[in-house]
Structure 1
């Protein structure tokens, strides 16, 4: 629980979230490309949310009750995670503590989270949480193979020009300086993939990356 709270209270602006306007002022997260969120997550699934309940998890130092929200889910597909079905996810009860508010009407979501030692999956607003329909077709394809292919690559966030990479194993993420959004073209349509020579480059295409590919290919 303490690791979850610590990860939420970082100093930079919120990153790639479809419902960023719902994030409370007390919860902010470091900017990250969706591929980075995929690579850092223990669990990445597509699931329906079918139930919600508030559960007691104890008291704080002031003896005030601490609650969490448990969402019952029906797993549709696992892109990354343990060899088991996930039937519930847990989050803080307040958005100020990075708690996630999900609809319980059978809406399908892409959910990324952390697998705790007790086997529970915990999610926060700092992770990639969004409705399945809000994903681009390229993002959906990238979840199957391409994001994982680039987990050894480093995605460097460009905050102002000039900016550059320091090693061939980096991809420069320029959505903010070019489009003034973290949900720009590179976030929506590109994956940073490792080449055979261990260098990394942005890739956009309908098929798995070729042996040698350009930074940009037609979808």
Structure 2
């Protein structure tokens, strides 16, 4: 085989494109209903960003420093987590690694994240991080009680018709097939709550559900 400058350049281009594609595919998350995000998180808080800077958090297996972005926070309210207040959270430095980008503009956010063994809070693009003002009244209300009532339920996302549930303790999430968005009516206005017979059903409304409710109720 004869090696030429052109073939070498072509090989480099292919390797470059492969690497870019690999990075682009590095962060992949399955959409989650806000209730799933709440139930699967160690920490759920309302907070605003007051600072942002890169920090070293150790070394990789080759001895190179590993950087993350540290967001300084002003915690406003805790909905789930330990008794401590969180004044910071950490995220990967780029979106290809699922890093989160937030602005230090005084905006309040609902933030869900994972608690590390050293007590620090870490977040990625796979977590539910949403401007507080963009949340519906039902979503805000559900953070204090209703979402937790359904953590034993399973929310199954429907991606194409037909779709179905496999048991009575599941709720079928159909926002994508009906509205072509994961931020549709069920995400904004419904919670999947366990009933007295241990089955689960969607519940709509700001009032707490009755103990033995049978059907979906309107506000």
TM-score (norm 1): 0.85
- Using the TM superposition, give the Cα deviation of residue 129 of structure 1 relative to its aligned residue in structure 2, in angstroms: 0.6
Matched with 1:183 is 183
Counting matched residue pairs gives 196
In the alignment, the residues of structure 2 paired with residue 198 and residue 75 of structure 1 have an alpha-carbon distance, to the nearest angstrom, of 35
Q: 1:36-185 counterparts in 2 under 5 A?
A: 36-185=36-185
SS at structure 2 position matched to 1:37? helix
Q: Which runs of 5+ in 1 are unaligned?
A: 1-23
Structure 2 equivalent of residue 11 of structure 1: none
Quick check: 156-165 or 37-46, which moved more? Answer: 156-165
List gaps (5 residues or longer) in structure 2: 1-23
TM-score by length of 2: 0.85
After TM superposition, give the deviation of residue 162 of structure 1 in Å. Answer: 1.5
Instruction: String of CA shifts for 1:40-78, please: whole Å, max 9, x gaps.
Output: 000000011111111012333455432111111111110
Distance 1:87 1:65 in 2: 24
Shift of residue 31 of structure 1?
A: 2.1
Q: Distance in 2 between matches of 1:132 and 1:146?
A: 18
The aligned residue for residue 6 of structure 2 is: none
RMSD: 1.4
Task: Tell whether the 8 Å contact from 1:47 to 1:111 is kept in structure 2 after alignment.
Answer: yes
Partner residue of 1:213?
213
